[in-house]
Structures are given as structure tokens and as C-alpha cells.
Structure 1
Amino acid sequence: MPPREPFGQAGRLLAGIALLAALLGLVYWTGAVGAEPLERGYPDEVDVTQNRDAYVGDRVAIGGIVVETDPVVIATQRSGYGRFTVVGAHESLQHSSVTLETGDRVTAFGTLEDESTLVADRTVTDRLRDTLYMVVVSFVAGCWVLGRLVRGWRLDLDRFALVPRSASPTDGNQGDADRDTARGGTAMADGSSGSRRARTNAGRSRDGGDR
């Protein structure tokens, strides 16, 4: 007899719904939460470029386009104006395995050392190929996991559970049939033995009467 499950199918169903809700909630939360400290709350390029002297020594988050790479210089305007030298941009670059190139859009968070120099603690780039690489790798990994799941597991609708594909749904019934067959064979053997003993006793009784 298989072990009794503590919560049964209803418990598994509720657990699955709760986990799915948690996953969707985390996805929504991740998309909704800003990339602090790069997201608001600190003076940005609009504030700083209007009055640079007022923000010297303060923590700021400045976004712009890379116009030079050694050292990294960003321009807050597409025309090339509003330039800031970002010290430590490569070392503080987040979520990217490549170096910055001219034309990359970046946001740097750090301390404004002087009117045109930002010492970066964190730098983020929204380079399209980095995002594409992340999406492709995630898609391939997801397909691999899904393939492994489909090949190795199946959904048992009777128990509403994932079970290994090696476990056939008729295994339990076949086991019962085998046990019934074994018991039937044992009963037949017992009957045959009883019949032989009866015939033997009858033969002995006849032999005794003849004598």
C-alpha cells in the first residue's frame, strides 16, 4: 500500500498556485523596482548640468552617451555637450562582460569630484547586444530545462502529480495481478496436494480391506 500523502491532491494544487503567484509577484516586483541608487532619489544629469558647482562633493547619478573611452567621457546631450569624465567606469561596470565603447548609453552613480569629474561607484549600460545576449541565454536554458522535464517526467492525472516516465500507470495494477496470480497458483498447488493425499489414503484403505 503506497504511503499516505499528508495533504493530498488539494494540498499540491494549493501549493502550486501559491508558488506560481509568488513567481509572478517577484517578476512584477523586479520590473517595478528601480535600479537604486541609479534610479531617482539622487540628482541626475538634468539637475547637475544646470548648476555644477552646487553638486560638487555630492552623490549623483548621471546618464549619457560615451564619447571617449580612455578615460571614459560621457555627454549628457546627443550633440556632445554636457561632458563628464567618469573615473573607474570600467571597474564599476555592472552586468556586462565587455568594456565600454563609443556610442554606448550609460548611467554612472558616484561622487561629483569637481565640475566635470565623477568618481563612479556603479556604472550600468543598456547596450542592446548585452540585453539580447541575456535574453537568448535565458531562452536556451529554459528550453533545455523544459526538454529534460518532458523527457524524464509525465503528469499523472489520477494523482495530479509529476512522476518519472519509467513509472508506468499500470505498474500498480500489474503488481496486484501478479500477486493474485501467485496466490491462485499457491491455492491450486495446495488443492493438488490435498487431492493426492486423499487418493493415497483411499488406496491404503482399499488395500487394508482386501487383506
Structure 2
Amino acid sequence: MQEPFGQRGRLVAGVVLLVVLAGFVCWAGTIPGDLTDSDHPTEVDVTQNREAYVGDRVALGGRVVETDPVVIATRASGSGRFTLVNANEGLQNGDEPLERGDSVTAFGTLEDESTLVAERTTIGDTAGTAYMLLVSFVAGLWVVGRFARDWRFDFDRLAFVPRDDPLSLRDVTPWPRGSASGGDRGA
């Protein structure tokens, strides 16, 4: 079977793909600051020197300790408390009002030393994140297994090519066939 573009075509396609990916990386760094919270002071900065950040846009993360009004604690000990104005109105990834114990990140303007007028609020779902990572890991293992089973690297063509007959677990045993324990390997 003849390749439509040959080895040079693959090389050109690879270079074009890398240039496009590099372009996307550079483009992602040009997003205006209003769309990302990474350029703004966080709870680590603000909690240490509240007066310096009054009137500034900040991103505060913590646990909800009170719900009427919404108050978050930025430290695990329960200290570093801030009242969030408009927290439920600016909630982006939830339909119900915030509850005690929710892990939230609020972005807005620090009105005074203990009040944040929230433009956006997001709930951090640790169980959902753990589930997502586990499913992604298992799916990644499945994809790598399927790839290793059905494809091989051809050093003559410098390309991955389909295997004539896919590998199976019986083809990749760690000890010789007929040996249950593998004890007669070196005998």
C-alpha cells in the first residue's frame, strides 16, 4: 500500500501541527486579565495585608462558614473570614444557593477589609474532580493498551503501522509456557 504523501508529507504535517500548538499556547497567554483570575491577588496575599487591597479586584478561595450573608473562611482553622456580597447571584457552576462547607472561589472587588463584592463565584467539587481524574486515568490506560495491541513502530519507514495480527495477553507472558511458577527459567 502506497502512502499518499510519503515520509516528507508526514514530516511537514508534524511540523505544521507543532507550529499550530505553539501558536495556541502563545494565544492563550494573550487572553485579557478579566477572563482569568491568575493575575489578581489571592486569599494568601489579601489575608496578610487586607488594607492594601481595599478597592482592588481579588480572587478569594475558602470554605463557606455562614450562609446569610455568605461568609467564607480562607484558612483551614476558620480564620481569614470574608463576607461575600452577591455570591449566590454570581454563582457560575451551581443552581442552588451556597451551603455551609462548600469550597468556593469568589472573584470581585474588595469593598472593605472584610467584604468582597463578588462578580463570579464558583464551587469547587473535590469528589467530582477525583472522579474525573480516575475516569481519565482508566481511559488513558485503555487507549495506551489498545494502541500497543494494534500498532507497532516500523523502523524502516519511521512510522507506526497496524499489526498484521494484534497482540494478546497470551503473547506477552513473563515466564515460559508450561511453567506455572516460572521456576525453571534458568535451570
What TM-score do you get using the length of structure 2 for normalisation? Answer: 0.52
- Residue in 2 aligned with 1:118? 116
Distance 1:161 1:81, change over 3 A: closer
- Residue in 2 aligned with 1:2? 2
The DSSP-based 3-state class of the residue aligned with 2:38 is coil
The DSSP-based 3-state class of the residue aligned with 2:41 is coil
Aligned residues: 156
1:155 to 128, 153, 169: 153
State the shift of 1:139 in Å: 0.8
- Summarize the alignment of residues 173-192 of structure 1 with structure 2, pairs less than 5 Å apart: none
Q: Cα deviations across residues 81-109 of structure 1 (Å, max 9, x unaligned)?
A: 44323223585356x89986534443321
- Residue in 1 aligned with 2:180? none
Q: Cα deviations across residues 137-185 of structure 1 (Å, max 9, x unaligned)?
A: 22122123224434443333332322233589xxxxxxxxxxxxxxxxx
Moved more, 59-68 or 157-166: 157-166
What TM-score do you get using the length of structure 1 for normalisation? Answer: 0.48
**Partner letter of residue 39 of structure 1?**
S
**Partner letter of residue 160 of structure 1?**
L
Distance 1:70 1:138, change over 3 A: farther
State the shift of 1:74 in Å: 0.1
- Residue in 2 aligned with 1:144? 142
Distance 1:128 1:166, change over 3 A: same
- Residue in 2 aligned with 1:65? 63
Q: Is the 8 A contact 1:153 1:164 kept in 2?
A: yes
**Partner letter of residue 2 of structure 2?**
P
Structure 2: tracts of 5 or more residues without a match: 30-34, 167-187
- Residue in 2 aligned with 1:177? none
CA distance in 2, matches of 1:6, 1:112: 60
Q: Is the 8 A contact 2:111 2:117 kept in 1?
A: yes
Higher Cα Rg, which structure: 1
The DSSP-based 3-state class of the residue aligned with 1:88 is coil
The DSSP-based 3-state class of the residue aligned with 2:160 is strand
Distance 1:83 1:114, change over 3 A: same
Distance 1:139 1:71, change over 3 A: farther
Q: Cα deviations across residues 38-62 of structure 1 (Å, max 9, x unaligned)?
A: 3354374653675559714x32222
CA distance in 1, matches of 2:95, 2:159: 41
CA distance in 1, matches of 2:154, 2:6: 18
Distance 1:64 1:144, change over 3 A: same
1:102 to 96, 100, 103: 100
Which structure shows the higher helix fraction? 1
